[in-house]
Amino acid sequence: MTDAAKVQNPALQQAALPVLFVLSTVHFLNDMIQSLIPAIYPIIKSAYALDFGQIGIITLTFQLTACLFQPLVGHVTDRKPMPYSMVAGMGFTLIGLVVLAYASSYAILIIGAALVGTGSAIFHPEATRLARHAAAGRHGLGQGIFQVGGQAGGAMGPLLAAFIVVPKGQASLAWFSLVALVAMLLMAWVGRWHANVQAEAKKKAAATNAAAPTRSRMEIGFAITILVVLLLSKNAYTASFNSFYTFYLIEKFNVTVQASQLMLFLFMGAAAIGALTGGIVGDIVGRRNIIWFSILGALPFTLILPYVDLWWTAVLTVIINLIMASAFAAIMIFAMELMPGRIGLIGGVFYGLSFGLGGLAAGVLGELADQTSIEFVYKLCAFLPAFGLLTWFLPKFNDTAKA
C-alpha cells in the first residue's frame, strides 16, 4: 500500500497491528486446542476399549474436516466474505471440546473430533484474508505475525496436555471451552473492524486486479502446483519430526523421554521464530528468493543430521526448522499474488490441503519405519529439501522486494 493510500485510510493504518496481533492470538488458541486432541488418546483407548485402528479413525475424521473442508470454505468466502463466520467456527470448536470431554460412546467421540475440525476449517481461510487486509501492504510481516500464533499454539498444546489433560482426565477438556469462548469474543471484535474498512479493502482489491498482469490459467495452475509441492516437501519433513523425532532420539542416543520432549519443543519453537523472520525478510528481498533459501537452503543440514552426535543433532534440528519455517509466509503470499482475488481459497488450500497431505506423508513414513527403521526414515527424508530446485520454474514476474 502506498503512503497516499495510508493517509486516505488512517483507520486501517492504526488498526493493522492490533488486528494482526488479535488474529495471531486466536490462531494460537485454535492450534493449541487442536493439539490437545491426541493428548486424550491414551485415556480414551483404555476407557472405551479402542484399538489403534479406531484411534486412527478419530485422527482421520479430524484431518478430513480440518484440512479438506478448508479449500471449500475459502472458495465460498471468496465470493461472499464472512468475517463473522470465524465466530461461528470457534463456536463449533467450543461445542466439540464439550462433546469430547463428556462423550459416552465411540460414535460421540467421532462427532466431537469432527466439530473441532470443522471449527478449524472455518477459521483459517477467512483469518488469512483478514491478516492480508490488516497488513497494510506489508504482507510478509502480516503473514509472519499470523503464523507465529499457530506455531506457538501447536508447541504449547502438548505442554498443557501433559500438565492438565493427562493428570486430570478426559473431562478436563471442557475447561478449554473457556479458551474457545475468549477466541469467539476476539473474533467478534475483528469482524467489527473488518466491517469498518471493508469498502476500502474492496477498492484496493479492484485496483490490484486491474494492475495485475494477464496470466493464463495453465501458467497460474503450474505455479500453484509447484508451490503446493514445495510446501508438501516441507510439511512432510516437519511431520517426520512431529511424529517420530522423540523415538529417533531415544533409539539412537538412548535419551530419556523428558529429554526427547525438550528437544522436540526446541524444534517446534524454532518454527515460530522462522515463520516470523521469513515473513519480514520476504518483504525486503522478495518471495522467490526466500523460497529458494527456505527449502533448498536446509538441504546441507538435513543431509548431515543423521550422521552427527546428540549435541549437533540438537543444533542442526533448530537450524533446519528456522530455515524451513521461513518458507511458509513467502509461499502463501506468492500464491496470493498469482490469484489476488482468491485469498480465501489460497488460505484454505495451503493451510488445509497441504497440511493434510503432510499428515498422510507421516503415515507413509510410519509404515516405512515399521518395515525398516526410524534412522533409515531420517536418512531418506534428508533429501526432501531437494524439491526446492523446483523454485526455478516459478514465474519471475512475481519476484518483487515488496508485495
pLDDT tens-digit series, residues 337-352 = 888 878 888 888 887 7
pLDDT at 400: 46
pLDDT surpasses 90 at 108: yes
pLDDT surpasses 50 at 373: yes
Letter for the amino acid at 204? K
Asked, colleague to colleague, whether 1-211 and 215-403 share their fold, the answer is: yes
Ordered by start, the domain boundaries in the chain are: 1-211, 215-403
pLDDT surpasses 60 at 186: yes
pLDDT at 215: 67
Residues 6+ apart with CB under 8 A from 144: 275, 276, 277, 278, 279, 280, 329
Q: Give the CA distances from residue 247 to residues 39, 107, 227, 367, 384, in Å, rounded to whole numbers and listed in that order.
A: 17, 31, 31, 14, 20
Thinking of the domain 215-403, which architecture would CATH place it in? Answer: Up-down Bundle (1.20)
Distance CA 230, CA 386 (A): 9
- Give the helix ranges, DSSP H, for 37-138: 41-47, 52-63, 69-79, 85-101, 106-134
- Percentage of residues in the chain having pLDDT higher than 90: 20
Q: Give the CA distances from residue 358 to residues 33, 113, 229, 240, in Å, rounded to whole numbers and listed in that order.
A: 20, 19, 10, 9
Least confident range from 20-24, 91-95, 206-210, 336-340: namely: 206-210
The number of beta carbons lying within 10 Å of the beta carbon of residue 183 is 28
pLDDT surpasses 90 at 309: yes
CA triplet 132, 135, 206: central angle to 5 degrees? 55
CA triplet 49, 371, 54: central angle to 5 degrees? 20
Cα torsion for 110, 113, 119, 121, to the nearest 10°?
Answer: -90
- pLDDT classification of 91: cutoffs 50, 70, 90: very high
Per-residue pLDDT tens for 325-337? 888 888 888 888 8
Mean pLDDT, residues 309-328: 90
* Among 310, 331, 311, residue whose Cα is nearest residue 390: 331
* Among 133, 131, 123, 166, residue whose Cα is nearest residue 29: 123
Yes or no: say if 352 and 118 are a contact pair by the CB < 8 Å rule: no
- Percentage of residues in the chain having pLDDT higher than 70: 85
- pLDDT classification of 96: cutoffs 50, 70, 90: very high
Q: Which three cell numbers stand for residue 157?
A: 498444546
Residues 6+ apart with CB under 8 A from 381: 236, 237, 240, 302, 365
Mean pLDDT, residues 138-151: 81
pLDDT higher for 366 or 207? Answer: 366
* Backbone angles phi and psi of 229, in degrees to 5: -65, -40
Residue 387 has what DSSP assignment?
G
Mean pLDDT, residues 46-71: 79
pLDDT at 397: 56
* Among 137, 126, 143, 133, residue whose Cα is nearest residue 198: 133
Distance CA 235, CA 224 (A): 16
Least confident range from 118-127, 181-190, 263-272: namely: 263-272
pLDDT at 370: 79
3-state secondary structure of 339: coil
pLDDT surpasses 50 at 34: yes
Mean pLDDT, residues 361-370: 76
pLDDT surpasses 60 at 123: yes
pLDDT surpasses 80 at 197: no
In residues, how long is the chain?
A: 403
Report the half-sphere exposure of 65 (CA within 13 A, side-chain side): 23
Report the half-sphere exposure of 225 (CA within 13 A, side-chain side): 7
Number of helices followed by number of strands (H, E) in the chain: 19, 0
User: 1-211: CATH homologous superfamily?
Assistant: MFS general substrate transporter like domains (1.20.1250.20)
pLDDT surpasses 60 at 251: yes
Residues 6+ apart with CB under 8 A from 289: 282, 399
pTM, to two decimals: 0.71
Q: Give the CA distances from residue 321 to residues 34, 267, 280, 302, 399, in Å, rounded to whole numbers and listed in that order.
A: 21, 6, 17, 10, 24
Mean pLDDT, residues 305-318: 92
